Every structure is written in C-alpha cells, then in structure tokens.
Homo-oligomer: A and B are copies of this chain.
Amino acid sequence: MIKIAILGMGVVGGGVADVIMKNKAALAAAAHDDIEIKYILDLRDFPGHPLADRVTHNFDDILNDPSVSIVVETMGGSHPAYEYSIASLRAGKHVVTSNKEVVANYGDEFLHEAEAHGVHYLFEASVGGGIPLIRPLTTSLSTENISSIDGIVNGTTNYILTKMAEGGGSFDEALAEAKRLGYAEANPSADIDAVDAQRKICILTALITGRLLPTSAITTQSIRSITSADIAAAAKLGGTIKLIAHTDTKNGTINVFAAPCFVPYSSPLAHIKDVYNGILVSASVSGDLMFYGQGAGRYPTAGSIVADIAAIIRGTQNRIKPFEKASASEVLDPNLAVFQHFVTAPQSVAESVRDAFGTPIAETETDGVSAFIFPAMPHGEAIKAASALIEKEAPISICRII
C-alpha cells in the first residue's frame, strides 16, 4: 500500500483525488500496488467529501509521517509550493507536480535534491496538460539530440486565435467568449501575454539542453495586438497565426521565445484548434514528431499526474537528469535571430513597407490591409523597419514565420 498526500485540493488536486478513487483497480494493476490518499492539505475543509477525514491544515503532519512516500503538489504559485516541495524531497518523499511556475523557477534545485535523496521529482502535467510529452522526451527520445521544439502550449490563446480565424470576431470578442466558457480567467494576462507559455518553454528548454534559464530571459509577446484582419490576411498567404513557444540550439546558443507567429498550413501546428495543444519536436534520428492533446483541464492534467505516480510506484521511472541553473547570457539576442517575417499594414502604406523591408516573397491585400511575407532577416532589423514606419505613418504588425 502506497500512501500519498495531495497539497492543494483545487481543480487539479481534486481531479487527482477523483481519478485515484474512481480507477482504483486499473491503477493498482498498472502500478502493481494499491494507492491510498492519506492526507489532503488545504486551507478549507470539505464536509461531506468522501476524503473529508484526510484533510489537514498543517503541512508538518505530512512531512513528519514516514508512511507518506509521494507528495502531489497542485497548489500552484511559487510559495509555499517551493518550500513544501524541497522539504518533501529532503524527507525522502517523491514529489509530483502540475505547477509550471515552480518548476520553471526552481526545477534545478528540485531535481538535484531528488537525486541526492534517491527520489523522483516529476512534472509531466506542467507542460501540455494531459499530453504524454515529458516522459517520451526523457525516455523514448533520451538517446537523440532534440534540435528544436515549437509548441502551441497555451489553450486559452489558441482558443481565441482559432475563433478569430473562424470568423468569431475581434480579439476582445473572442476573449469574452473564452471567459464565458471558462477557458480564460477573469484576469487573463498570464495566458494572453504569454507568461504561461514562457514558463512552459523554459521547462522544455531545460529538458533538451539541461540549462534552466531565468524565465525573464525568455522574450514574450502578447497576442493582444493581433487583429482578425491580420489572421484573414495570413490565410490568404497560406497560413495562420498561433502563439508559438519556440526553442532551438542550432547555433550553439539558445534561441527561445513565446510570441504570435505566422504558421504555414503545411505545418501540423497550423491545424491545432480550440483549446488543444500541439508540440512539434525535431529529433536527430526519429525526425519531426508532434504530440497533441488537451493542454489543460481537471482530468487531462490529473491523468498526467497519476501516470507519474504509477511510474514511481512500479519502479520503472528513469531519473530525469538534473537541470543546471543558466544565465540570461546563454540566450541568443532575439534581435539577432533570423526569421522570415509576416507583415501587415494599411494598404495606403504598402509602398513604404516594401521600401523598408525589401522585395516580398509573397503579398496580398484584403479589406484595405496589405500583407507580405519577407525573406529571412534578423528579427531586430524587422522590428527597426517596422518601428520607423509606425513612427512616421501607420500601425503595422510583424510576426516571425516558423
């Protein structure tokens, strides 16, 4: 009998409790042992809940109970998730989490502590929700070099961009609809402004390079400025706009960002719709792979946590190589990264755009908006060209093309 504790009985923690209670037999068969939820740490009580008698308000009850071998951290936020996770690992307890913020900020410390104490720190649920992604990266692909990852890792923004592409109105209208459906929070900034995607690509970068960057070193760009006209113009040029979390190590430095990008229809990422996530991985031997599924939600996220728990219990979890803390200087200056660019501008300034960017590879116009695809140039030069035009004439928007 394996005894676990759940820290935080919110959406995800509650989902983990549900899945463990409802799938006892299947879980025991897969994990080769029974699982008991011995403690639930929460500020609240849960009168009437079948696990009401497991609730504690004191983390020390869990820390000091040697019968608890696995701690599930679903509190979110950095503190006290950090303190409780470190304490659990030092007490020889495995820790499983869905908390991308704490993994992005302290994953290096956790993995080193886990190694030192012969336990696991696992976080499949922190990126891609229910999608098996981190386990394939650290098992099936462990012998390969991963040269790049391009991911749609935020369901809220993908829902908004999908609605805008399908005629669902402006950014504000699509955001309002996302809020109504529960896909966006009252304060949607972490999603919309790519902070969530920044944390996730920070974790994925660490998994493929071993280097855990400060999240602040990862450039972000909000999707707020994307208009329906931009997306309609992109469609006419054979693509769409998606919030892409990108990382690659092709030039010996880490080129990493989270920003709206033009994605050509030839990429499978262009067809990831609604709240789904898709993570495209370039592997040295196996080639291009994509992992697709629900990137958030109570049950998908709980499913990934339970998979981590089962792997620990049956003893088949391989050790995730500890990340090393990296400095912002390891990141390629985003101005120097070279991309093709997708540019939109009012038709009235089309000529000035051509003067500033050069001869386009393709161009179109629709509803008074001119759109262009320009040949590869350093991103900083594209921004400079755009800024000069914005100062002088009219709002223009530019996106990297992946």
Contact = CB atoms under 8 A, between A and B. Distances in A.
A292 B292 contact: yes
A144 B307 CA distance: 9
A135 B273 CA distance: 26
Contact of A285 (B19, B135, B285, B318): B19
18 contacts: A26-B145, A27-B143, A31-B143, A124-B140, A130-B287, A132-B139, A139-B316, A140-B304, A143-B310, A268-B272, A268-B276, A283-B303, A286-B293, A286-B300, A287-B297, A289-B293, A290-B290, A291-B291
Contacts of A132: 136, 139-141, 286, 289
Given A272-B268, A285-B19, A292-B292, A307 B141 contact: yes
Nearest to A288: B293
Interface in A251-266: 266
Contacts of A287: 130, 293-294, 297, 299-300, 303
A47 to B, nearest CB: 27
A142 interface: yes
A2 interface: no
Contacts of A288: 276, 293-294
Contacts of A286: 130-132, 293-294, 299-300, 303-304
A306 interface: yes
Contacts of A273: 266
Interface in A121-142: 124, 130-132, 135-136, 139-142
A180 interface: no
A311 interface: yes
Contacts of A136: 132, 135-136, 140
A377 B130 CA distance: 33
A105 interface: no
A30 interface: yes
Highest count of chain B CB atoms <10 Å: which of A270, A271, A297: A271
Given A124-B140, A132-B141, A302 B285 contact: yes
A290 B273 CA distance: 13
Contact of A292 (B145, B290, B307): B290
A33 B260 CA distance: 43
A287 to B, nearest CB: 5
A219 interface: no
A310 B30 contact: no
Interface residues of A, number: 52
Contacts of A64: none
A187 interface: no
Given A291-B291, A297-B287, A318 B314 contact: yes
A26 B124 contact: no
Given A268-B292, A290-B293, A307-B139, A144 B285 contact: no
A131 B144 CA distance: 13
A329 interface: no
B292 A289 contact: yes
A135 B139 CA distance: 9
Contacts of A26: 143-145
Interface in A165-194: none
A225 interface: no
A56 interface: no
A147 interface: no
B144 A303 contact: yes
A277 to B, nearest CB: 10
Interface string A95-114: 00000000000000000000
A294 B145 CA distance: 17
